[in-house]
Amino acid sequence: MRHLNSLLELRREDVDAIFSLARVLKVGLENGQRPPLLAGRVLTQVFEKPSLRTRVSFEAAMMQLGGSSIFLPAKDAGLGGREAIRDVARVLGGYSDVIVLRTFSQQLIDDFVAFSGTSVINGLSDLRHPCQALTDLFTMQEAFGEIRGRKFVFVGDGNNVAASLATACAMLEVPMTVCTPNDYRLPDDFLVKLRLRCPKAEIEQTSDLKDALKDASIVYTDVWTSMGQEAEDGERQQVLGPFQVNAQVMRLAPRTARFMHCLPAKRGREVTDEVIDGPQSIVFQQADNRMHLAKGLFCWVLEVTP
């Protein structure tokens, strides 16, 4: 049985297969095709965190492929202590072909993988955001074609998005630079594990924007205060302020560089309007691709071929 819990569980050929399926189905949709490849299949989504892109992209993907979708807030699903997680996982697994979870705790997703008996997709946890990272590298491929050797620069907080992007970049041989304040870097133990899994990984960390961006193909940022970190907001705005991606910062990168953000964006904080709405931005192409990547991912976990 196939899951997407962590990118480290995938092989390079798995990622290539997911991208290929997403590409075929995206081109098909552009030509008016909505093949009922998943007719009769049921997607159940259980979320602890609010969501726009994750929830709607997965629902739209399943519906366009002929399946149906159920959404449950975590409390309604019984994850707030009403039942043991393993019991909830077993019950929902009996009703569903795919379960997508968006949680605070990675352990909750690990438990569903262990006990649900059906395919589980990590829609976001405190440690990982694999669907976003796959979508971002898929979008980078659309922008540049061959991406091996092209430099990916993440600016801001070395959070779960940055960690998942580092994993995806390592798997696809994309050199990545994480440009953050010293105390916001990716953890050393994470990088040790990543280099054990991907010995050729080129992941650098720096606080020097000029040096990081001089040969960037992608300039990427994310919110400075993620859900659950609201008490740190004031401190984060102060420390991360010099890492705002604005027009002056984009001029440190080549004109051919593209700007990406996983959204939601706090305009005027980590990014300015002139960048997110500017000619180098591919942010909304990136957002659209969440749905196309979800289609490829469903077909991959369920082993369905277009």
- The residues that are catalytic are 102, 129, 132, 222, 262, 290
Residues 96, 102 contacting (CB under 8 angstroms): no
DSSP, collapsed to helix, strand or coil, labels residue 69 as: strand
| DSSP secondary structure letter of residue 106 | H
DSSP, collapsed to helix, strand or coil, labels residue 28 as: helix
CA 67 to chain centre: 23
Q: Is 142 exposed, middle or buried (0-12, 13-18, 19+ CB in 10 A)?
A: middle
Distance CA 268, CA 266 (A): 6
**Residue tagged 């829609």 (tokens):** 123
**Residue tagged 């280099």 (tokens):** 195
Closest CA to 156 of 41, 77, 236: 236
